[in-house]
Structure formats: structure tokens, C-alpha cells
Amino acid sequence: MKTQKQIHDTVDKWWEAGSVGNLIIYRAPHSEYADCIVEKVIKTKEMDPTTRAAFQIWMEDLGVERGEVFSNAAGKPDRVKLTRRFDA
């Protein structure tokens, strides 16, 4: 968690780096600290070829049309919430 000054410094760094996407600043009620969360869409054409190929294979194997990927507390890939058409 970050102090107000650290939040301002983080926003400045994000802006100056030319970052794109959504920068969300979250502060819990009555807290003196907050956190910065970035949401960014990465298109496959922006990925290196190896990552792009692996990502496309993964999406095809699971039949993913849309999804969210989550990491565990250690930052390791943990689970995916996916949506796809269901034809019974």
C-alpha cells in the first residue's frame, strides 16, 4: 500500500512513461493508504511471436472467447475465468 505522496509519484511515473490503459487508485474507507492498479489491453500483435503463439494455442485449447486470468498470492498463474458459447 502507498501513502498519498507515493500515489502521486506513481501516477507521475505512469504518465511520464507514456503508459496507456486505466490506472485505478483504490483506498479503503478510513485508510491512510491506497494502491494503484493498472488495467491494460494487450493485443496479440503487440506480443513477441513466441508469447503470441502460446497464447493463441492456450485460447484455442480451452475454447476461450473471453476471460480473466488470476495469479495466486505468490504471483504465479493460478486460475482462469472463461466464457464461451454453450450449445447443448
9-68 per-position pLDDT tens digit = 999 999 999 998 999 999 999 999 999 999 999 999 999 999 999 999 999 999 999 999
d(CA 9, CA 51): 32
d(CA 7, CA 13): 10
CB 70: neighbour CB atoms within 10 A?
Answer: 9
d(CA 51, CA 56): 9
* Mean pLDDT along residues 79-83: 94
Residue 43 and residue 56 in contact, taking contact as beta carbons nearer than 8 Å: no
